[in-house]
Amino acid sequence: MRRELIRWFLLLSILGRGLLTTDTKASPASASAPASSPTKAHEDLATNKPLQLQDAVIPQPPQIPRSLLVPPTVLTLMREAEQSFAKRELEKADSIYTRALGMAPNIPSLLVSAAAVKTRLGKLEESRTMLRKALSLDLDNAAAWKLLGMNALEQKRDDEAFACLAQATLHEDNSPRAHNYLGMAAGRKGWSEASEQELRRAVELDPNYADANFNLAVLYLGRNPPLIELARRHYQRALDLGAKRDPAIENLIAKSVASQPSDSQRSSARP
């Protein structure tokens, strides 16, 4: 019951901001927006440094349900677009999805897949418009909520990001990425305990999730006083899983370790 109340409270908040309208006009600026850089995806939770959240800006299109309601010609186009996306032929995938949407404009899974390509191309407003339409057709679409929240994080729409990602985790609680992004959104709002809870949930679901481990390291460094051992452990885990080294994070860890009293100093300080 409590989860449902939270869900509807957030939903009312979103509706109040007009996020679920089906206006199809995209911002003119979005057409020329550069693709996001994986190393400059989001602000760091503690130090305002960019995080290395590659999956946040390279979303994978969701699996397409082969529904009998989808015309065969549209399914063929969707498969072609998926193949182009996998080959990183993004402009081609975008063009194919546009053709498919011209034939079937009201299929939520198609809208989400097309929006994922728009996000990868840096056309966040166009992606956002598609996702809002998908949710107007299917309010329980976890993939749409998640990608909409990811886009909002990129655009620093923190309230929208938190609301959308909360919906994503309610509809897909076993998604480590949804919990990671929700943890980031909570951190942006200064909710440290909620951020830690979501990031730890992401790591619990996927211990090999480098970005979530990296974010936990950043979070623990931002505590007062910093939780150095936890930060060091999660940072090293992130490196082991392929995350890029971050000199600023390593410098913070080194300084924090150096400022801690040694065992002999602790012993001499005891009465």
Q: What is the CATH number of the domain that holds 76?
A: 1.25.40.10
pLDDT average, residue stretch 186-193: 93
Residue % of the chain over a pLDDT of 90:
65
Q: What is the pLDDT of residue 271?
A: 54
Q: Is 132 left (phi over 0), alpha (psi -120 to 50) or beta?
A: alpha
Angle at CA 156, nearest 5°, toward 155 and 158?
Answer: 130
Residue 264 within any structural domain of the chain: no
Give the chain's radius of gyration (CA, Å).
21
Omega cis (within 30) before 38? no
The parent domain of residue 70 ranges over 2-22+32-258
CB atoms within 10 A of CB 74: 18
CA dist list (Å): 137 to 8, 112, 132, 140, 166: 17, 11, 9, 9, 19
pLDDT, averaged across the chain: 79
Question: Is the residue at 115 inside a domain?
Answer: yes
Q: pLDDT per residue over 192-223, tens digit each?
A: 999 999 999 999 999 999 999 999 999 999 98
Per-residue pLDDT averaged across 21-47, rounded?
33
**120 and 84 Cβ atoms separated by less than 8 Å:** no
Closest C-alpha among 205, 140, 158 to residue 177: 205
Determine which of 5-9, 149-153, 189-193, 249-253 has the lowest per-residue pLDDT on average.
5-9
Residue 28 has pLDDT above 80, yes or no: no
Q: What is the dihedral of CA 215, 221, 223, 225, to 10 degrees?
A: 160
270 occurs within a structural domain: no
pLDDT for the residue numbered 160: 96
> Is the Cβ–Cβ distance between 77 and 219 less than 8 Å?
no
pLDDT of residue 102: 95
Which pLDDT does position 258 carry in this prediction? 76
More confident residue, 6 or 70: 70
Q: Between vectors from CA 258 to CA 252 and to CA 263, what angle results, nearest 5°?
A: 140
CA 184/CA 211 separation, integer angstroms: 11
Q: Sorting pLDDT into bands at 50, 70 and 90, what band is 175?
A: very high
Tally of CB atoms within 10 A around 191: 15
Has residue 29 got a pLDDT over 90? no
DSSP lists the bridge partners of residue 43 as 50
pTM > 0.85: no
Q: How confident is the model at residue 256 (pLDDT cuts 50, 70, 90)?
A: confident
Domain count for the chain, please give it: 1
pLDDT of residue 126: 96
Residue 3 has pLDDT above 50, yes or no: no
Is residue 267 in a domain?
no
Mean pLDDT of 72-89: 94
pLDDT digits over 118-171, tens only?
999 999 999 999 999 999 999 999 999 999 999 999 999 999 999 999 999 999
